[in-house]
Structure 1
Amino acid sequence: MLTKEDRIVFIGDSITDSGRRAEPEELGDGYVRMIRDQLICESPVNAPVIINKGVGGNRVTDLEERWEQDVLNERPTVLSISIGINDVWRQLDSKEMNQILPGKFEQVYRSLLDQSEGIRLVLMEPTIIEEDPRSEGNELLKPYVEIVQKLAGEYGAVLVPMHRAFIEYVSAEGEHKLTTDGVHMNSTGNTLMARTWLQAVREKGLS
C-alpha cells in the first residue's frame, strides 16, 4: 500500500524524463506525471511523494554513473526503473562502437539492484522500437525484456509488463499511434504506460 510516507523515485531515459527539467515540479509531461496525478486524485491527503530522475539518452551504464546521487541520496522507499531502449536503439546505428549487449546489460542492471537493498523495486520492461511487432528493434529488444523479467523474479520486484502491453496494442492494428517517432510517447502512449504501471503495482500490493 502506497502512502504519504512513501518516496517513489522513477529513473530511466527520455521516456521517463519527458521534459522534466523544463517545468517547476520537475515531473515532465509523461507517464510519471500521470501516475502522480492519479494517485493524488484517488487519495489527496495520502498520496506518495513522486520524484522523476529520467535523463534523455541514458543507457544502463549511465544509470550506474548517477546511481548514488539520483537514487540512493533521494532515500526512496520505492524505486521504479525503466531502461533498455537506448541500449538497443543505438545498436541500430552502424557507427555506434560502444554497444551494450545483453550480457553487459544484465551485469550492470544486477549491480544496481544489489546496491538497492531495502528499497521496494518496480522493474519496467522496455517498451517498443517502432510500432511494428516484427521490427528489427523489437526483435533485438527480446533478450533485454527477458533479462528484466528474470531480475524481477530474482529480486522479488514488481514486474511491469510494459513490452507486452505495447506489443499487444500495436498488434491490434488500431488507427491510434502510441509514439511520435516509434520510441517517444505521445499522450496515448503515456496513458498506456501509466495504466500498466498502476495495474502491476496494485496486483503486487504496493498501491
Structure 2
Amino acid sequence: MLTLNYKTTMKKLTVLALLAGALTLAAFKTAKVKKIVFFGDSITQMGVQPGGYVDLIKSNLLKQGNKNYEVVGAGIGGNKVYDLYLRMDDDVLAQHPDITVIWVGVNDVWHKSSFGTGTDPDKFVKFYTAIIKKLQEHHSKVIVVTPATIGEKKNGENKQDSDLDKYSESIRQLAAAQQIPVVDLRKIFTEYEATHNTSDVEKGVLTVDGVHLNATGNQLVAEKMWDAIKSIE
C-alpha cells in the first residue's frame, strides 16, 4: 500500500511539475517584447521628437505600464520609396522588427511636380512591393500608410491632390492584394479637413506647413496607427 501511494504521489508531482513548466514557458512567451519600427520620411523623423506621433505612442504605452512593445522611429527627411528600399537592411531589418509601419509617398509626389525628381507611379508600386516582400521574408508583419496631405485646402484645391489620390489608391490595392492593414491617412485627413477646415486654409489644421504634423495631427496619427497595430496582434 505504501509503495502504491508513493508511486501515485510521484505521478501527481510529475504532472504538477510539467504543468508548472508549461505555464512558465507560456508566461515567458507572452512576455516577449515586440519591436515596432516606423519607417518613413521627415514626417516620421519628426515623429520621434517630443509630441510627435511616435513619441505619443511610446508615452501612452509608458503611462499604461505596457512593457510589451519597443517603439523605434526610422525616418529620414526627403526620403522617397526607393530610399527606403535602399536603406531598409541597415535601418529596419537589422533591428529584427516584429511589426513595420511603412509611411512614404509625400516626397515621391511632391518632388515630382516641384523638382522633377519624384517617383513615377509604376516605379512607386514596384519599390513599395519589394519593400513589403522583403519585410515579410524576414518575418515582420507589415502595416502600410497612405500619404496624408500636401496642403490642407478642400480635396481638389491643392496642387498635388490628384497625384496623392492616385498613389494612395496604389497603396490600398497593394494592401488588399497582400491582405495587410492599411492606415488610410489620405482618406482620414480629407474627411477631417472637410469637417474642421471651415475657412479652407492651406495649413494649420493638422499640419504646420501643409505637410508636417502639428499637435492635432500628431495625436490623430498616433491614434490611427495604434488602432492598426492592435488589429494585427
Alignment equivalent of 2:148, drawn from 120, 124, 127: 127
Q: Which has the larger radius of gyration?
A: 2
Give 1:10's aligned residue. Answer: 38
Q: Deviations over 1:135-170 (max 9, x none)?
A: 121211111101111111222321112111100111
What's the counterpart of residue 23 of structure 1? none
Match of 1:156 in 2: 179
Residue segments in structure 2 that go unaligned for 5+ positions in a row: 1-29
- Please give the secondary structure, in 2, of the residue aligned with 1:136: coil
Does 2:119 correspond to 1:100? yes
Mark the CA change 1:188 to 1:60 in structure 2 (over 3 Å): closer, same or farther: same
Tell me the residue number matched to 2:63: 41
Q: Is the 8 A contact 1:13 1:55 kept in 2?
A: yes
Pick closer, same or farther for the CA change 1:15–1:4 going to 2, 3 Å. Answer: farther
Instruction: Look up the match of 1:138.
Output: 161
The answer (yes or no) to whether the contact 1:10–1:16 under 8 Å persists in 2 is: yes
Residue among 81, 106, 130 paired with 1:60: 81
User: Does the residue aligned with 1:79 lie in a helix, a strand or coil?
Assistant: strand
Q: Does the 8 Å contact 2:110/2:118 carry over to 1?
A: no
Root mean square deviation of aligned Cα: 1.8
Distance 1:155 1:51, change over 3 A: same
Q: Which runs of 5+ in 1 are unaligned?
A: 20-26
Partner residue in 2 for 1:190: 218
Aligned-residue identity in percent: 32
Total equivalences in the alignment: 194
TM-aligned CA distance change 1:205 to 1:113, over 3 Å: closer
Question: Which position in structure 2 is the counterpart of 1:116?
Answer: 135
- TM-score between the two structures when normalised by the length of structure 1: 0.87
